[in-house]
Amino acid sequence: MSAPAEYPRQPLQKEDWRLTVAPMMDWTDRHCRYFHRLLSPHARLYTEMVTSAALVRGQQLRLLEHSQQEHPVALQLGGSEPTELAVAARYGADAGYDEINLNVGCPSDRVQSGRFGACLMREPALVGDCVKAMRDAVDVQVTVKCRIGVDDQDDYADLQHFTETMLGAGVEVLVVHARKAWLQGLSPKENREIPPLDYQRVYRLKREFPELVVVINGGITTVEQVRDHLAQVDGVMLGRAAYHDPYVLARVEAELYGEPLPTREDVLLRLRPYIEAELARGTSLKHISRHLLGLYQGEPGARGFRRRLSEGAQLPGAGWPLLEQAVAQPRVAA
């Protein structure tokens, strides 16, 4: 089966951000994004966070590799030095990314030590300088992903001030994870689960800044939740749900855009040309198949599918025949 059609860049429209898939470290690599694109032709996809230092000082331009079929796709950058971020953003735009997103939400120790991520919410003026430098360097959208607060800086007024500063720097799209971040005492995993969700704060932000495209993120797992949030904000960003139960992307796509719901088998068959091309260039199947393990989440035989695929992909010479076997596996009751 032929690869999906290309998705040309379009002017800014609010509906462009109705459905997005979060940048997730170690997960949303180019293989994952290609798979997600087959499930959702319209979703805006995001790379894993790439540090500006890795691109500019490390010259690791291989980190920008992606398929034309991924569009619309955004590059997420981490950093806090305006000049360096501007150069990194230019690399991303030259590589063809449709959007450059600045990470102001990651709470990990490594990110804090580099003075970027969630700790930057304490320095909105610096973030504004970074955004302005990036906007001056590229023609594509420069957006920001942040939290609703950080540590004891947790009043709505703080988020309001941060947002006003972003608007002043020219930001048109703000992705808001509806949890605050604790920079001390909680791991990144705990920061995704322990701080309570406060969707109402994000809704209020949209009401008070109607000119801003507001995308909500955090704890969203179902089509019904997506529909409810879209009554209040412009877009929804799915994170772990899109990875652990990727078929939810097809369900949301059908709900929002009226696309026919593909079978899981059809999605895998459509992935075949990509897998075979990657195997031919020396990619190991395990690097692709690890992103497919949740495709049959909640279906009979899902456990057998995951086991067959995860174990078989480790073997030398693993290729498409393993996928054919795994496609048949879910039809057998668990």
Taking the C-alpha atoms of residue 208 and residue 229, their distance in angstroms, rounded to an integer, is 16
23 is in an annotated binding site: yes
78 is in an annotated binding site: no
Helix axes 264-280, 320-328, angle to 10 degrees: 170
The DSSP result for 252-310, as a single string, is: HHHHHH------HHHHHHHHHHHHHHHHHTT--HHHHHGGGTTTTTTSTTHHHHHHHHH
145 is in an annotated binding site: yes
325 conformational bin, left if phi > 0, alpha if psi -120 to 50, beta if neither = alpha
Tokens 């073997």 label which residue? Answer: 315
189 is in an annotated binding site: no
218 is in an annotated binding site: yes
177 is in an annotated binding site: yes
Taking the C-alpha atoms of residue 173 and residue 85, their distance in angstroms, rounded to an integer, is 18
User: How many CA atoms, within 13 angstroms, populate the side-chain half-sphere of residue 312?
Assistant: 17
24 is in an annotated binding site: yes
Q: Residue 134's closest CA among 104, 106, 99? A: 99
The DSSP result for 42-101, as a single string, is: SPEEEPPPEEHHHHHTS--GGGG---GGG-SEEEEEE---HHHHHHHHHHHHHTT-SEEE
The DSSP call for residue 2 is: P
Beta bridge partners of 216: 176, 236
Catalytic residue among 32, 106, 119, 146: 106
76 is in an annotated binding site: yes
Beta bridge partners of 73: 45
Helix axes 30-39, 264-280, angle to 10 degrees: 150
Taking the C-alpha atoms of residue 85 and residue 51, their distance in angstroms, rounded to an integer, is 9
25 is in an annotated binding site: yes
130 is catalytic: no
Tell me the catalytic residues: 106
Which residue numbers belong to the known binding site for FMN? Answer: 23-25, 76, 145, 177, 217-219, 239-240
